[in-house]
């Protein structure tokens, strides 16, 4: 029986491409917002959710850091997707036919050199996949979309130019979330652990809390802070480490962390993905 995989965006979005790469045989469930994506998993409307957490050009996806810790869901996997921008047009169109190009403003900005070189006029779209859909619906050979290769497949468009983005290192990291944890064994290869915590209101609490990871040789690959409930004095930290909670050095680091925190929760223990 096929499972349902929730993602944010229209069919053909980069999140859809990530979901398809992870769950190629399952049913994709598009959602309007990140909140809807999380809710679909919480309500059992979807078996898994695939959400972006950070991008190599634009940094963290702030909404996820606020939604995930209180969702009750668990991270079960990560996936790195190389963001490749392509010029898509209706079948039969050529590069010489194109006068306007439509996409999300961020995507247009990432392809500025290509757009300038060809003298295209830009049209701001709601997102990349939606722009591809609208180009397909119009059937106008003079208007192209900038979107993923996957969007071309979904909407039956031709790829007139590939990898037209200015930066070749544009990559988005996605997380898979589920209602139940799927924790690998401690000795099953490279593992990441993601957790959130709040430090106690004592001098140098964060510095001391981090000391246990350094002294026990635990590599922390991410540490993000964000305000809670709009308060300048209430801060929560989101962290990724390399290692399993059952590893001796991680146990010791977490014990030391506990002396300086008043809240701690593991969001997921999962196999480390391969960056592209």
State the catalytic residues: 172, 174
Distance separating alpha carbons of residues 176 and 178, to the nearest angstrom: 7
Per the CB < 8 A criterion, the answer to whether 104 and 81 are in contact is: no
Q: Helices marked H in the chain — which ranges?
A: 14-22, 34-42, 62-67, 105-110, 112-118, 128-138, 149-155, 205-215, 248-258
Exposure string for 69-108, b = 16+ CB within 10 A, e = fewer: bebebbbbbbbebbbbbbbbbbeebeeeebeebbbbeebb
DSSP symbols for 205-250: HHHHHHHHHHHTTPPEEEEEEEESTT-SS-EEEEEEEES-TTSHHH
272 burial via Cβ count (<10 Å: 0-12, 13-18, 19+): middle
Per the CB < 8 A criterion, the answer to whether 17 and 82 are in contact is: no
């Amino acid at each position: 029986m096929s499972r349902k995989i929730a993602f944010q965006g229209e069919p053909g979005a980069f999140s859809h491409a990530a979901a398809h790469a992870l769950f190629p045989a399952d049913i994709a469930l598009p959602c309007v917002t990140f909140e809807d994506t999380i809710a679909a998993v919480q309500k059992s409307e979807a078996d898994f959710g695939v959400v972006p957490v950070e991008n190599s050009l634009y940094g963290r996806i702030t909404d996820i850091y606020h939604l995930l810790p209180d969702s009750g869901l668990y991270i079960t996997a990560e996936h790195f997707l190389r963001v490749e921008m392509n010029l898509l047009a209706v079948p039969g169109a050529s590069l010489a036919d194109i006068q306007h190009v439509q996409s999300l403003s961020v995507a247009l900005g990432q392809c500025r050199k290509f757009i300038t070189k060809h003298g295209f006029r830009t049209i701001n779209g709601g997102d990349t996949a939606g722009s591809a859909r609208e180009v397909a619906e119009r059937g106008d050979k003079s208007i192209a979309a900038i979107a993923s290769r996957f969007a071309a497949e979904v909407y039956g468009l031709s790829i007139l130019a590939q990898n037209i983005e200015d930066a070749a290192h544009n990559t988005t990291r996605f997380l898979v979330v589920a209602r139940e944890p799927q924790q690998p064994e401690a000795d099953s290869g490279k593992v990441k652990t993601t957790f959130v915590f709040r430090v106690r209101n004592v001098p140098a609490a964060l510095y001391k809390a981090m000391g246990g990871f350094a002294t026990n040789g635990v590599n922390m690959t991410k540490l993000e802070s964000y305000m809670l409930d709009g308060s300048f004095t209430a801060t929560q930290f989101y962290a990724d480490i390399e290692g399993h909670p059952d590893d001796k050095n991680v146990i010791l680091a977490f014990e030391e962390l506990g002396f300086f925190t008043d809240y701690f929760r593991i969001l997921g223990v999962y196999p480390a993905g391969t960056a592209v």
